[in-house]
Amino acid sequence: MRVLVVEDEKKVAAFVAQGLREQSYAVDIAPDGEMALDLAAIVDYDLIILDVMLPGIDGVAVCQRLRDRKSPVPVLMLTARDAVEDRVIGLDSGADDYLTKPFSFVELLARVRALIRRSPSPPVAKLVVEDLQLDPITRRVSRAGKPIHLSAREFALLEYLMRHAYQVIPRTVLMAHVWEFDFEGGTNVLEVYVNYLRNKVDRSFGKRLLHTVRGVGYRLGDEDAL
Ligand code: CA
């Protein structure tokens, strides 16, 4: 599950992100509304945690723009004030729930779980590409019926490639989706992980599924089917 945390206060953003990561959510942080809207346009988030008080476009306006774009992503709004009118404005803008600062992480997590359960588009039960299968919920991967054990990062990479099978995924897009937004490690790391993944998913199986598209990125799928 991928969550976007929109918060300009670094401490709060880091606290929320770390807690969610410990619960195995992938978390991106946007420090302002514009970046939040940009990220939400390219990443299919399962939830957005949106602070109302932001520099530039505030949280209420961000939420309104998301809804104007017909984005169904659940939004949990954070507000520092407990004024009734703020809550009303927040919910009128299309937020699904709100939480007043300061909040406990346990409370935040309970809201997050409830909102993800209510999500209009629950995750696909199982992804299948040729004889390769990945279950996002149980996190089981197999090829030709043989179980494959992947690290968390390899799993995330494969899941993304499988969700976009037969499409060429530019390296920058893969980096943006699989490595959290603020990752600073250069693009070599992508090649390294693609190689790990190839060793596990392609080696010792007859047909290669993970292809390099020179100068662009990667594509998962049977070449014969293209
Ligand atoms: Ca803030």
Report CA 218 to chain centroid distance, whole Å. Answer: 19
CA of 100 to the centre of ligand 1 (A): 12
Rg of the chain over Cα atoms, rounded to whole angstroms, equals 19
Cβ atoms 159, 177 nearer than 8 A: no
CA of 53 to the centre of ligand 1 (A): 4
DSSP assignment of 187-226 equals THHHHHHHHHHHHHHTTTSSS--EEEETTTEEEES-GGG-
CA of 112 to the centre of ligand 1 (A): 19
Q: In the chain, helix, strand, coil percent, each to 5?
A: 40, 20, 40
Output the CA angle 112-115-119, nearest 5 degrees: 135
What pLDDT does 80 receive? 75
CA of 72 to the centre of ligand 1 (A): 23
Bridge partners of residue 142, in order along the sequence: 133, 147
CA of 58 to the centre of ligand 1 (A): 9
What pLDDT does 54 receive? 93
CA of 94 to the centre of ligand 1 (A): 19
CA of 21 to the centre of ligand 1 (A): 20
Counting every residue, how long is the chain?
226
158: which residues sit within 8 A by CB, 6+ positions away? 134, 141, 150, 197, 201, 220
CA of 193 to the centre of ligand 1 (A): 35
What pLDDT does 122 receive? 56
CA of 68 to the centre of ligand 1 (A): 23
What pLDDT does 114 receive? 86
**Tokens matching residue 82:** 């407990």
What pLDDT does 189 receive? 84
For 152, how many CA atoms within 13 A lie in the half-sphere containing its CB? 9
Q: What is the mean pLDDT of each run of 10 residues along the chain (226 residues)?
A: 92 92 85 94 90 92 94 90 67 87 90 78 75 86 95 86 91 75 65 93 91 94 77
CA of 42 to the centre of ligand 1 (A): 23
Residue 152 to residue 45: CA distance in whole angstroms: 18
Angle between helices 59-68 and 33-42 (to 10 degrees): 30
Cβ atoms 78, 108 nearer than 8 A: no
What pLDDT does 22 receive? 79
CA of 212 to the centre of ligand 1 (A): 41
Angle between helices 171-178 and 152-163 (to 10 degrees): 130
What pLDDT does 138 receive? 77
What pLDDT does 182 receive? 54
Output the CA angle 140-154-36, nearest 5 degrees: 105
CA of 52 to the centre of ligand 1 (A): 7
CA of 31 to the centre of ligand 1 (A): 8
What pLDDT does 161 receive? 92
